[in-house]
Chains A and B, each alone.
Chain A
Amino acid sequence: MTQNSGQPSPQEYSKMTEKYSKNTKSYKTIPKAFLIGGLICVIGQVLLNLYAMAGFDEESAGMMTSITLVFCAALLTGLKVYDNIAKHAGAGTLVPITGFANSVVSPALEFKAEGFVLGLGAKMFIIAGPVIVYGIVASVVYGVIYYFIGLFL
């Protein structure tokens, strides 16, 4: 009969686990995310200026910049490069619009094996879906608040 003499309680075990589980090296990951994320934003700004110089008005230039960044991220995902950059960049590649493109393209590639309808089509938004749903919900809430504030001002 095995005695559970040394068996820790769940709380104790949780503490033991914490002790042996290494933390993320934030001193390395945060600067890397800042630099690479910042670089993507700089590229965006350069694109914006270039599109403006090419004669696009402000709104169209902004839209063209987003389209270009999304296209590049999708292409890099397809070329199997994006995830290797993201491994180092973390939130630096996740937060900009490039992260959104990657989160749509990567499941599309992955689940193509299950067919264009039930695979690619159904699973394309498996990661981005919640962001879209709650993004829209948040914008509705924001719109309602905005409307009511407008009534009193």
Chain B
Amino acid sequence: MSKKLSANTIDLLNRPTIVQSAAVGGKKEGEGPLGSYFDIINEDSLFGEDTWEKAESTMQKTVVNKALEKANLKSTDMDFIFAGDLLNQCIGSSYGLRDLDIPFIGLYGACSTMAESLTMASIFADNGLANYAMAVTSSHFCTAERQFRFPLEYGGQRTPTAQWTATASGAAIVAPNGDGPFVKSVTIGKIRDFGITDVNNMGAAMAPAAYYTIKTHLEDTATQPSDYDLILTGDLGQVGTDLLIDLLMRDNIDISKQHNDCGLLLYDLEKQDVHAGGSGCGCSASTLCGYILPKMRQGKLNNILFIATGALMSTTSVQQNQSIPGIAHCLNISTQR
């Protein structure tokens, strides 16, 4: 059973387990610092398909099948799948997962989708609604560029604050019982908008949401940053990270020792020329599912906060000069019950 602790935070009393996870990445992700932690690296950005959208769907299907294979499970063992991506109408997920025959719940939380889907899967597992629930999300550099920005071959320049959408996907399977890592509690964030209008500065747009969710989680669970080995945000990048630490410091919460960001881990910022860091649903999904969760299983990390952040704008809202709302959801994942 789950227990609501506060307006935002839910305590998952049965401590559902993330039984298995998998990550798939593209060529650039394979060349990055986390390259060796991916289950599958696909050198071909098209994943053998003829369009980028089909490629993203195939990537999502691949990661789901890989997670099932690693867990020694079949798709029919899954009771629910929670999935989403960045594409209009979430076609990355719906086309990628349509052949799997699993009850499907599509989600949109922009780049926060890994935390959102994992939260939902954990709540379902905790309340006995699923023996197995899966959370999956993806992003693809090429689909994101053509939908949100410019054609790939357009000769434009990125600003220093721009981030690089990861071509990556991550999937995690949650069960009510197991040996861990356990999802102990989740904090559902509120939409936060501090008035940022620059679409090339997503980190700045999302930092307020991360700030709110982390602060709320620490207060609701009566914990300190030092209680955690790692406080991992999704894709704030360099600018968002600096802002988040500054915002929390104003409330005398110092997370600088524990904090890291998937957008800073996934790439070598200078060598791979990704400016302020990585972004996209797949950035936090692959970092969590490919790098962090295995580390927890190996006992190298014990108690973490995972806070994926999303920017909830669309090209239309941006063209109409609206500011960018941010969202962040937080999960406390621990090897101890």
Binding site for B on A (CB under 8 A): 1-2, 5-8, 10, 13-14, 16-17, 20-25, 29, 77-78, 80, 82-83, 85-87, 89-90, 93-94, 99, 102-103, 105-107, 109-111, 113, 127
Residue B153 at the A interface, CB < 8 A?
A: yes
Give chain A nearest CB distance to B263 CB in angstroms: 14
Structural contact, A2 and B215, CB atoms closer than 8 A: yes
Q: How far is the CA of A110 from the CA of B51 in the complex (A)?
A: 10
B152 adjacent to A83 (CB under 8 Å): yes
Q: Is the interface of B mostly helix, strand, loop or mixed?
A: loop
Q: Are A16 and B243 in contact (CB under 8 A)?
A: yes
Q: List 6 A-B contacts (CB under 8 A).
A: A20-B239, A83-B155, A86-B155, A110-B146, A127-B150, A127-B151
- The verdict on B316 contacting chain A, using a C-beta distance below 8 Å, is no
Provided the pairs A2-B215, A106-B151 are in contact, do residues A13 and B239 lie with their beta carbons within 8 angstroms? no
Determine the chain A residues whose CB is within 8 A of the CB of B50 once the complex forms.
113
Instruction: Give complex CA distance A77, B53 in Å.
Output: 22
How many residues on chain B are close to A (CB under 8 Å)?
A: 38
Docked pose: A89 CA to B157 CA in angstroms: 9
Interface contact tally, CB-CB below 8 A: 108
Given contacts A13-B194, A23-B160, A113-B51, is CB(A106)–CB(B239) below 8 Å? no
User: Which residues in B have their C-beta under 8 angstroms from that of A2?
Assistant: 212, 215-216, 219
Closest residue on chain A to residue B205 by CB atoms? A17
Q: 3 shortest A-B CB distances, which residue pairs?
A: A86-B155, A6-B250, A110-B151
- Name B157's contact: one of A1, A16, A86, A105 (CB within 8 Å): A86
With the chains together, A29 CA to B243 CA distance in Å? 26
Give A119 to B50 CA distance when docked, in angstroms. 15
Question: Is there contact, CB below 8 Å, between A86 and B156?
Answer: yes
Which of A8, A13, A16, A22 is B160 in contact with, Cβ under 8 Å? A22
B91 interfacial contact with A, CB 8 Å: no
Binding site for A on B (CB under 8 A): 7, 50-53, 146, 150-157, 159-161, 194-196, 201, 204, 208, 212, 215-216, 219, 238-239, 242-243, 246-251, 276
Of A5, A8, A99, the contact of B194 (CB 8 Å cutoff): A8
User: Which applies to chain A's interface (DSSP): helix, strand, loop or mixed?
Assistant: helix
Selected from B195, B212, B246, the residue in CB contact (under 8 A) with A14 is B195
- Cα distance A117–B235 when bound, in Å? 37
> In the assembled complex, which residues on chain A have CB atoms less than 8 Å from the CB atom of B195?
10, 13-14
Q: Is the CB of A21 within 8 A of B251?
A: no
Q: Is the CB of A85 within 8 A of B153?
A: no
Q: How far, in angstroms, from A2 to B242 measured CA to CA in the complex? A: 22
Given contacts A13-B208, A17-B201, contact A93 B151 (CB under 8 A): no
Q: Is the CB of B155 within 8 A of A110?
A: no
B3 → A minimal CB distance (Å): 18
Contacting pair A80 B155 (CB below 8 A)? no
CB neighbours (8 Å) of A20 from chain B are 204, 238-239, 242-243, 246
Nearest residue, chain A, Cβ from B216: A2
